[in-house]
A and B are shown apart, each in its own frame.
Chain A
Amino acid sequence: MSEMSVMKALNLAMFEEMVADEKVICIGEDLGKQGGCWGTFTGLQEKFGENRVLEFPILEAGYTLFSVGAALGGYRPIVEFMFADFVTLGFEGIVDIAAKIRFNSGGVDSCPVTFVLPQGGGGKSGAHHSQSVEAWFANVPGLKIVAPTTPADIRAYYRAAIRDDDPTLFIYQRATMGLTGEVPDVLDEVPSLAKAGKIVKTGADLTVVAYHRALLNAMAAAAQVEEETGKTIEIIDPRVLIPFDKEIVFDSVKKTGRLMVAHEAPERGGFGAQILSWVVENCMKELKAAPVRVAGVNSIIPFGDLEKYLYPSVEDMKAGILKALK
């Protein structure tokens, strides 16, 4: 085990997969001497060369589509968008092309591209550099969405996303790049994307499902509520949104009878609505109260410190937990 930041875990995962499979290539802007906008590609071009770490001009639409062609040519591209927001430019390549490759080939060809999306608030950079994009893609069959939070999970599930043969969005919270945690020196087995849910903490009175910074805030709020009320709260990190580990959530809700879902993306049409629907459809008998969502405000993200009005804080999480417990 060693203590490592999210940033280092991202770098390690790519390094390991590039060693394991020479067909893994990286595509994005400033990936050369700069090591990527966030430093997550540090040392990779030096080690693996310019033909495996391809530095591109600013043409997200072009290199998203390029990655699909390279995948059809036998490669396994990792495509970085500096900010998840810029994936709007890659929408055609991801939604119309990558997601349909397998279907239109009659199940013959796969499209093993990993699209890397650093997302969400914390950077105080406003409307075009702070959005959360998972729900934009959750409605597109053919894609997978991986969204881990801790350094150890990021290392393991990034590797799993790269290995997966389908087009996969790997989404992480940019603001938690410096978050540190214990990461095993060797990953014994790259996990499957199926059944990826993890019970972060067990409890009996409420189930909380959350990811990214919302997970961290919900954990802090839950600790306070437990202290104050004596109730215990079960917290689940889904780690992968598609395919979603429904069973782990259903089993928990059947035990606790209560649910809160939290994320930073806007509430309306957010992935939390999907989780809630599944739970209501499958656990109605066991539910003791209406499930609760805590999410971003349905508005535009302002610049600077003002962004705090948009994203769910620890206090918002606490209010949500107390409401769900009523």
Chain B
Amino acid sequence: MNFSNEELLEMYSDIVKSRVLGEKIVEYIFSGKIAGAIHPCLGQEAVSAGILTAFKKSDIITYGTETHRAQTVMAHRVGWKPFIAELLGRTGGCNDGISGEYHIHDLKNGQLPAAGALGGTWAEIAGFAWALKNDGKKRQIGFAPYGDGAISQGATYEAMNIAALFKLPILFFIENNGIAMSTPVENQSPLENLADRAAAFNMKGVTVDGDDPVAVAEAVLNGMELAANNEPNVVEVKTMRWEGHYVGDPQKYRDLSYKEDLDSICPVVRFEKRLIELGILDDEIIKAVRESQTKEIVDGFDEGLSQTIATKEQVLDYNRVYSNNAGGEL
């Protein structure tokens, strides 16, 4: 697959944006401005950049249940400002700052309800994808993301079985960062490549380098095409989690020597080198991209922080829980 220079530069913007978002999440958590344990995507930015590139390049519409470390994709779907405000629990959030980043839900923008409980949303997407197919909606698919840990849940196997049986338009996407909370992937699965699970359901499965945004974008674009032709399939990308499970996690459970030379494993640095070699990036552009992306994110945080939090009445509104007044009380 070929990407134009413009597309590569936009991919670069996205990888930087992901990085800045991760850094800012860490910063705002330490300064007490973000509540709850948020899981930043530091080290995994090429994954989001690749996904976003594929989404922008293809005419296929995706609906996904992104959550957790996929903040950049969530923000791309619901809009950066509504996303950041939701992360901050402010009323400008896409769910009024009431649902929170864990449970982000914005159907009109393709964000299917994410779940704090890991394991179920692949099957939820299967139902949505069935509806798309049954309604004859061409080139619209379900995009089902999970980490290497979440995919051990039984419902993910049921979801793959359903998708394969009913030939549903779904791409199952595994972001394998080698670890789930404290448990390394070797202790979770006997497989070398988690995408091999696809074979059990007669589906195609591929594993690519998740630290290369171009490889991710290509694999996702291929998987999206297959899905749009009612061929559900699995794409696994291998990457590495830099942070702890949550911000402030002392990570006593793993060897932290990788931190001594992060540049050598950094997907942003690696992509920069490649683009410099191709002659489409230089120090000036690097600086400008970093500045503009930082500004957009910091502005988003500033705007979010200027907003109120929801009132008790808003949170306890009966109409937020039930659809009609049968009963009339919570």
Question: Do A and B actually bind?
Answer: yes
* Interfacial residues, chain A to chain B (CB-CB below 8 A): 51, 56-57, 59, 61-75, 77, 92-93, 96-97, 100-110, 112, 141-142, 144, 164-166, 192-194, 242-244
Q: Which residue from A70, A106, A112, A192 sits with its C-beta under 8 Å from B98?
A: A106
Q: Determine if B127 and A165 form an interchain contact, defined as CB atoms under 8 angstroms apart.
A: no
Q: Which residue from B94, B155, B321 sits with its C-beta under 8 Å from A62?
A: B155
In the assembly, what is the distance between CA of A144 and CA of B327, in Å? Answer: 10
In the assembly, what is the distance between CA of A204 and CA of B107, in Å? Answer: 54
Further pairs besides A62-B123, A141-B321: 15, Cβ < 8 Å: A59-B161, A59-B162, A61-B120, A65-B120, A65-B127, A66-B127, A69-B127, A93-B123, A104-B103, A105-B99, A106-B96, A144-B322, A166-B322, A242-B327, A243-B328
Q: Determine if B162 and A66 form an interchain contact, defined as CB atoms under 8 angstroms apart.
A: yes
Q: Determine if A104 and B161 form an interchain contact, defined as CB atoms under 8 angstroms apart.
A: no
Cβ proximity bits B263-292 to A, threshold 8 Å, 1 near / 0 not: 000000000000000000000000000000
27 contacts across the A-B interface (CB closer than 8 A): A59-B158, A61-B120, A62-B155, A63-B158, A65-B121, A66-B126, A69-B124, A69-B125, A69-B130, A70-B128, A70-B130, A73-B131, A92-B117, A92-B119, A93-B124, A97-B115, A97-B120, A97-B124, A100-B103, A103-B99, A104-B99, A104-B103, A104-B113, A105-B95, A105-B99, A109-B107, A110-B323
Q: Determine if B327 and A73 form an interchain contact, defined as CB atoms under 8 angstroms apart.
A: no
The A-B contact count (CB < 8 A) is 160
Q: Determine if B321 and A105 form an interchain contact, defined as CB atoms under 8 angstroms apart.
A: no
Nearest-neighbor residue (CB-CB) of A101 within chain B: B113
In the assembly, what is the distance between CA of A75 and CA of B128, in Å? Answer: 9
In the assembly, what is the distance between CA of A106 and CA of B78, in Å? Answer: 14
For residue A144, give the distance in angstroms from its CB to the closest CB of chain B.
Answer: 7
In the assembly, what is the distance between CA of A63 and CA of B120, in Å? Answer: 10
For residue B131, give the distance in angstroms from its CB to the closest CB of chain A.
Answer: 2
In the assembly, what is the distance between CA of A164 and CA of B324, in Å? Answer: 8
For residue B328, give the distance in angstroms from its CB to the closest CB of chain A.
Answer: 7
The answer to whether the Cβ of B240 comes within 8 Å of any Cβ in the partner chain is: no
Q: Determine if B161 and A62 form an interchain contact, defined as CB atoms under 8 angstroms apart.
A: yes
The answer to whether the Cβ of B129 comes within 8 Å of any Cβ in the partner chain is: yes
In the assembly, what is the distance between CA of A81 and CA of B99, in Å? Answer: 30
Complex contacts, B105 vs chain A, CB 8 Å: 101, 104-106, 109
Q: A166-B322, A166-B324 are in contact. Are A69 and B129 (CB under 8 A)?
A: yes
In the assembly, what is the distance between CA of A93 and CA of B323, in Å? Answer: 19
In the assembly, what is the distance between CA of A112 and CA of B326, in Å? Answer: 14
For residue A74, give the distance in angstroms from its CB to the closest CB of chain B.
Answer: 6
For residue A312, give the distance in angstroms from its CB to the closest CB of chain B.
Answer: 28
Q: A68-B124, A75-B131 are in contact. Are A193 and B327 (CB under 8 A)?
A: yes
Cβ proximity bits B145-180 to A, threshold 8 Å, 1 near / 0 not: 000000000110011011001000000000000000
Q: Determine if B155 and A70 form an interchain contact, defined as CB atoms under 8 angstroms apart.
A: no
Q: Which residue from B161, B162, B319, B327 sits with its C-beta under 8 Å from A243?
A: B327
Q: Determine if B324 and A73 form an interchain contact, defined as CB atoms under 8 angstroms apart.
A: no
In the assembly, what is the distance between CA of A2 and CA of B134, in Å? Answer: 37
Complex contacts, A243 vs chain B, CB 8 Å: 326-329
In the assembly, what is the distance between CA of A242 and CA of B121, in Å? Answer: 27
Complex contacts, B134 vs chain A, CB 8 Å: 51, 75
Q: Determine if B128 and A69 form an interchain contact, defined as CB atoms under 8 angstroms apart.
A: yes
Nearest-neighbor residue (CB-CB) of A75 within chain B: B131
For residue A121, give the distance in angstroms from its CB to the closest CB of chain B.
Answer: 29
Q: Determine if A193 and B326 form an interchain contact, defined as CB atoms under 8 angstroms apart.
A: yes
Tell me the residues in window 73-111 of chain B with beta carbons closer than 8 Å to chain A beta carbons: 94-96, 98-99, 103-107
The answer to whether the Cβ of B320 comes within 8 Å of any Cβ in the partner chain is: yes
Complex contacts, A74 vs chain B, CB 8 Å: 131, 135
Q: Determine if A102 and B320 form an interchain contact, defined as CB atoms under 8 angstroms apart.
A: yes
The answer to whether the Cβ of B325 comes within 8 Å of any Cβ in the partner chain is: yes
Q: Which residue from A92, A102, A164 sits with its C-beta under 8 Å from B321?
A: A102
Q: Determine if A56 and B162 form an interchain contact, defined as CB atoms under 8 angstroms apart.
A: yes
Complex contacts, A194 vs chain B, CB 8 Å: 325-328
Q: Determine if A105 and B107 form an interchain contact, defined as CB atoms under 8 angstroms apart.
A: yes
Q: A62-B123, A92-B119, A97-B120 are in contact. Are A70 and B131 (CB under 8 A)?
A: yes
Complex contacts, B103 vs chain A, CB 8 Å: 100, 104
Q: Determine if B323 and A166 form an interchain contact, defined as CB atoms under 8 angstroms apart.
A: yes
Q: A96-B117, A104-B99 are in contact. Are A165 and B321 (CB under 8 A)?
A: no
In the assembly, what is the distance between CA of A63 and CA of B96, in Å? Answer: 30
Q: Determine if A107 and B320 form an interchain contact, defined as CB atoms under 8 angstroms apart.
A: yes
The answer to whether the Cβ of B330 comes within 8 Å of any Cβ in the partner chain is: yes
Complex contacts, A110 vs chain B, CB 8 Å: 323
In the assembly, what is the distance between CA of A70 and CA of B125, in Å? Answer: 8
Q: Determine if B117 and A61 form an interchain contact, defined as CB atoms under 8 angstroms apart.
A: no
In the assembly, what is the distance between CA of A64 and CA of B322, in Å? Answer: 20
The answer to whether the Cβ of B317 comes within 8 Å of any Cβ in the partner chain is: yes
The answer to whether the Cβ of B61 comes within 8 Å of any Cβ in the partner chain is: no
Q: Determine if B124 and A65 form an interchain contact, defined as CB atoms under 8 angstroms apart.
A: yes
In the assembly, what is the distance between CA of A112 and CA of B324, in Å? Answer: 11
Complex contacts, B159 vs chain A, CB 8 Å: 62, 65-66
In the assembly, what is the distance between CA of A48 and CA of B112, in Å? Answer: 29
The answer to whether the Cβ of B132 comes within 8 Å of any Cβ in the partner chain is: yes
Complex contacts, B121 vs chain A, CB 8 Å: 65, 97
Complex contacts, B117 vs chain A, CB 8 Å: 92, 96
**Which 9 residue pairs of A and B lie closest in terms of their CB atoms, listed nearest first?**
A73-B131, A243-B327, A69-B127, A62-B158, A65-B123, A165-B323, A66-B127, A69-B128, A70-B127
For residue B129, give the distance in angstroms from its CB to the closest CB of chain A.
Answer: 7
Nearest-neighbor residue (CB-CB) of B166 within chain A: A54
Complex contacts, B324 vs chain A, CB 8 Å: 164-166
Q: Determine if A141 and B323 form an interchain contact, defined as CB atoms under 8 angstroms apart.
A: no
In the assembly, what is the distance between CA of A62 and CA of B94, in Å? Answer: 28
